[in-house]
Chains A and B, each alone.
Chain A
Amino acid sequence: MVGIISYGAYIPIYRLSRDLLSQVWGKPAGPGERAIANWDEDSITMAVEAGVDCLTGLDRQCNGLYFASTNPPYREKQCATTVAAALDLPEELFTADFTNSLRSGTNALKAATDAAKGNPGDKMLVLASDNRLPAPDSPLEGQLGDGSAGFLIGTDNVAVEIEATYAVYSDFMDTWRIENEKYPVTWEDRFILVEGYQKMVPKAVNRFLKQHNFSQNDFSKLVLFAPDVRRHQAMSKTLGFDYKSQTQPAFFNNVGHTGCAFVPMMLVAALEDAKPGDRILLVNYSDGVDVMSLKVTEQIENIRDRRGIKGHLESRMPLSHYGRYLHFRDIMEWEFERRPPYVSALPVMWRERKQVTSFYGGKCNNCKTVQYPIQRVCAHCQAKDDFEEINLSSWKGTVTTFSLDQRTMVKDLPCVNLIVDFDKGGRYICTMTDRDPNEVKIGMPVELTFRKFHDGSRLHNYSWMARPIRVK
């Protein structure tokens, strides 16, 4: 049996209300809010979050990692490798990026399913993550959201069997972005919907159901791609499913359309409520159609303790100013910055990758003191080169002291500087992200999150920041 061994998801903490968009542009923007990646987040960091969630309670072991995004931070250079290093996955790992299509997430899911089928015992981690950038004052600005989902696919301890998969391609243009363009482009929606979505999805789903002798009643849930809530309802009906009882609600009002992570995130939400024996029909669209049928097993009860969709949805912070959003996404041309730019050095990043990217510290073999960054000569007992490297990225700690810097060069002032002492020993001087500056206190518990520090020297410079415990 091949299928999902574990799942995870991530939704950034910031939410941009459509009321705010309505105030900014002076016209209705609909109800609800969208999830917005923080200034230090991108599809790589959100994929790491979903990966951490997915691997909760499991060894950081797998045979392959597929990273999927329409908005990979590097257009030349694989992103899956950065995700793998941040997750501290073993070196003998097949990595690949799936990109360009809003179906990249389910494309990767199908490829991982096929890989696991062909190599019984292997485990493939699939991480779909998107933060598409809508043009300001465009319809998409109110619709898009940011987030990620992850699945560990394999043949042992399967919690959700992937019974059958089906795919068709189409060169139909739905939304696209040519080289060097910042924002997605589309055509008149009548054409896009009537000739594309509304024709291709029913055709593919009906063929799939027929091939496998499935009827609509065999499925407890339909996880369905749609461009918006109206089309979601309409397509559910067209496909012969009851919207209220059978269709997994889409996150249009509380997260937004999360690109290639949209259907994967909905699948995670469906699995959070699923019971053993439930069967799910998954339908994703764009550049063709992916259809899958999945069947929940008894093992699902062993992977309930994920933060997933529910945990992250409840943990939210309003982004109260549109101007800060413009800064987060660097959308405008800004005043000339007189301060020197950030710089970085690839040799340093490479030499220190184990502590910078994977977040290893040193534990002295002689006096057992944990130290970050790694000290070749122990700060406590001066033993030289006698330490064990240990991964601290999942360690929790408390704030020993803090300051709120209004002057440093970051996009979300004040910059919260912290001294963090880990519960299991060791100290980390760092900054705090996903925080309300007014809530920062000495003794506050924190955890670590993989973030982008800056883009100095035309590199994305990632490492680990502290944040208040996101989901208690």
Chain B
Amino acid sequence: MAESIKDKVAFIGMGCTQFGERWDVGFKDLVIEATYNAYEDAGVESKDIQAAWIGTQSGSTAAGTLVAPLKLRAIPVARVENASGTGHEAVRNAAYSLMAKAFDLVLVVGCEKTKDAGFGGLGTGPGGAGVGVDEWHPTYLYGTASTPPARFALAATAYFAKYGLTPEEGKRMLAKISVKSHYYGYRNPKAHLRKEVTVEQVMNAPMIAWPLGLYDCCGVTDGAAAAIMCRSEDAKNFRDDYVNIKSLGACSGPGMGKVLSDYDWTYSEEDIAAAKMAYKDVGISDPRKEIDLVELHDCFSISEVLAAEGLGLCETGKYKEQITDEDAYYLDGIIPTNISGGLKSFGHPTGASGVHETYENYKQVQGKADYPERQKKKWKTDQRLCLSHNRGGAPGRAVSNVTIIGLP
């Protein structure tokens, strides 16, 4: 009989590199930087690690990306890939191995080195999306995909039309999201884009894929984050302020939205399903009232809208009224969202993002956010429930991961 993972697995140390255009380091350096940052936080060393997972979209083998740089010895290590859900997926695999009592102490690293490619943009060229055999298909770039911003722009156009927003109103709603993301990115020392922007700047920025402009798109970023995990029953041996996994939700969509006409491109059924799974274990019925802090997948501003609605942070189609108009997503708002700066401003090295989001929530729960002004002080729940979410792929076919963590 399957069991709930609630309060059975804990984070006892986490680390995160400086995100950004890391011309100074390579993939392996990022792995070392994040891992040793986590080791220091947990008070452990490589020799203590019994198994490890590396989450990366573009990296090569587990041996090459994790075992070799860290010189891990004779332990099982696996590479995990699940598009933008890669980091969360690595955490999920590690968590269940602990719950199954296969190991006592494990390491998870998410890492991506994007900036050595020689061209800008996220997946703007053939081969950029790292989708393996699909790329060999003669019609791959058309018909099944284009650039990521163009795929998300399809959702923005559809959302504006469905909810009666003029292009100007729609772009303004999205611009406010990016202004908020940059507000917090500016206040986060490890973030990639540390610059505040105005609504006018966002709205007048060069067009990337109508209706999305430059500031509607996340940074193309190098970075890594790491987690040291054990069972909660052992966590006290390492530290008092460990943080427990409350629930894990995950859903891989079959991509029916790309085939069936009843999908209207304004939501992600994968987000809805992953959230439902995660909320069940914690007993959450109204996430807007019962979750303290959210890090969600905002690779593009419209993605934040789809995710917030899919996660139930506002009613479907009411994002503008219930989130942007109310400034609900700021730290002192009803449902603070992406206080790290989000993928938008903190950066989105795909394999690292899920682990970084977890790192952000872990620090917030402990009261140790990287910049004091961003530290959440008033909590709705005693457990300090923090949700992190990634969505890999694009509307129409995606994979969604939801992780909720909090105090024991």
Interfacial residues, chain A to chain B (CB-CB below 8 A): 338-345, 348-349, 352, 356, 369, 371-373, 375, 379-380, 400-409, 414-415, 417, 419, 421, 425-431, 437, 442, 453-454, 456, 459, 461-463, 465
Contacts and interface: CB of A to CB of B under 8 A. Distances in A.
Contacts of A408: 124, 141, 146-147, 150
Contact of A419 (B142, B207, B265): B265
B264 interface: yes
Given A401-B157, A407-B208, A415-B150, A379 B254 contact: yes
Nearest to B266: A401
B118 interface: yes
Q: Quick one: which of A400, A407, A429 has the most chain B CB within 10 A?
A: A407
15 contacts: A338-B117, A339-B119, A340-B128, A343-B135, A343-B136, A401-B154, A403-B146, A403-B154, A417-B151, A419-B396, A430-B142, A442-B157, A456-B138, A459-B138, A463-B138
Contact of A427 (B152, B157, B261): B261
A338 to B, nearest CB: 4
B262 to A, nearest CB: 9
Interface of B: 117-119, 121, 124-128, 135-139, 141-144, 146-147, 149-158, 161, 206-212, 254, 256, 258-261, 264-265, 396
B261 A407 contact: no
B141 A342 contact: yes
A461 B124 contact: no
B159 to A, nearest CB: 9
A344 B144 CA distance: 14
A453 B256 CA distance: 24
A379 B256 contact: yes
A455 B271 CA distance: 37
Contact of A425 (B136, B139, B153, B261): B261
A338 B119 contact: yes
A400 B154 CA distance: 9
B210 A465 contact: no
Contacts of A375: 259
Contact of A338 (B118, B156, B208, B256): B118
Contacts of A429: 143-144, 258, 396
B8 to A, nearest CB: 34
B138 A344 contact: yes
A405 B146 contact: yes
Contacts of A341: 126
Contact of B261 (A343, A400, A431): A400
B126 A342 contact: yes
B259 A417 contact: no
Query: What are the 7 A-B residue pairs with the smallest beta carbon separation, nearest first?
Result: A339-B125, A403-B153, A405-B150, A404-B210, A345-B136, A340-B127, A401-B158
B401 to A, nearest CB: 23
A463 B157 contact: no
Q: Quick one: which of B118, B137, B161 has the most chain A CB within 10 A?
A: B137
A406 B207 contact: yes
A443 to B, nearest CB: 9
A400 B158 contact: yes
Given A371-B260, A408-B150, A442-B161, A345 B125 contact: no
Given A402-B157, A407-B149, A409-B141, 15 more contacts: A339-B125, A343-B135, A403-B146, A403-B157, A404-B210, A405-B209, A409-B124, A417-B154, A427-B258, A427-B260, A429-B143, A429-B396, A453-B138, A456-B138, A463-B139
B124 A426 contact: no
A281 to B, nearest CB: 45
A371 B259 contact: yes
Contact of A401 (B147, B212, B265): B265
B161 to A, nearest CB: 5
Contacts of A453: 138-139, 141-142
A402 B143 CA distance: 13
A340 B125 CA distance: 6
B137 A348 contact: yes
Contacts of A462: 138
B230 to A, nearest CB: 41
A408 B145 CA distance: 10
Contacts of B155: 401
A239 to B, nearest CB: 49
Contacts of A465: 142
Q: Quick one: which of B128, B149, B211, B261 has the most chain A CB within 10 A?
A: B261
A344 B133 CA distance: 10
Contacts of B209: 403-407, 414, 417
Contacts of A463: 138-139, 142-143
A454 B137 CA distance: 11
A408 B143 CA distance: 13
B139 to A, nearest CB: 5
B144 A461 contact: no
A344 B210 CA distance: 28
B252 to A, nearest CB: 15
A409 B121 CA distance: 12
B136 A348 contact: yes
Nearest to B156: A403
A343 B125 CA distance: 11
B330 to A, nearest CB: 29
A429 B117 CA distance: 28
